[in-house]
């Protein structure tokens, strides 16, 4: 298994974990807000305030969308930061740079 394959496998696991965390947070927030809306709209309060159910659903949709958007940004953005961090690390440490460059060159030559 090459170094690139190991990095790709770990990146996939991290993305799956972060996606599951974001989905779980969204579902939990939505369930909590639906429960609060049901309590708030109890006793036929929605009859006296016709816009209340629409407001409640809007809040629930925002509670679902905000964590999902945050999760998507967290999954997409680190790739550019990770590559620049790796380049900085390669340039800053000469012995590490030589070793890692050798491993990557060997993995590329074996993969082709």
CA–CA separation, 106 and 89 (whole Å):
19
Residues with pLDDT less than 50, the chain: 111-112
How high is the pLDDT of residue 31?
92
Domain boundaries, the chain: 1-76, 79-112
* Residue in 3, 6, 14 with CA at minimum distance from that of residue 78: 14
HEC readout, 51-100: CHHHHHHHHHHHHHHHHHHHHHHHHHCHHHHHHHHHHHHHHHCHHHHHHH
| DSSP 8-state assignment for residue 112 | -
CA–CA separation, 102 and 3 (whole Å):
11
How high is the pLDDT of residue 38?
86
How high is the pLDDT of residue 112?
46
How high is the pLDDT of residue 27?
92
């Amino acid at each position: 298994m090459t170094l690139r394959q190991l990095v790709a496998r770990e990146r996939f696991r991290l993305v799956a974990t972060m996606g599951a965390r974001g989905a779980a947070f969204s579902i939990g927030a939505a369930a909590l807000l639906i429960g609060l809306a049901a309590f708030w709209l109890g006793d036929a309060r929605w009859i006296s305030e016709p816009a209340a159910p629409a407001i409640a659903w809007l809040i629930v949709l925002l509670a679902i969308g905000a964590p999902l958007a945050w999760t998507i940004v967290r999954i997409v953005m680190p790739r550019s930061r990770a590559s620049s961090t790796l380049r900085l690390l390669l340039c800053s440490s000469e012995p590490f740079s030589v070793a890692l460059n050798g491993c990557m060159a060997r993995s590329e030559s074996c993969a082709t």
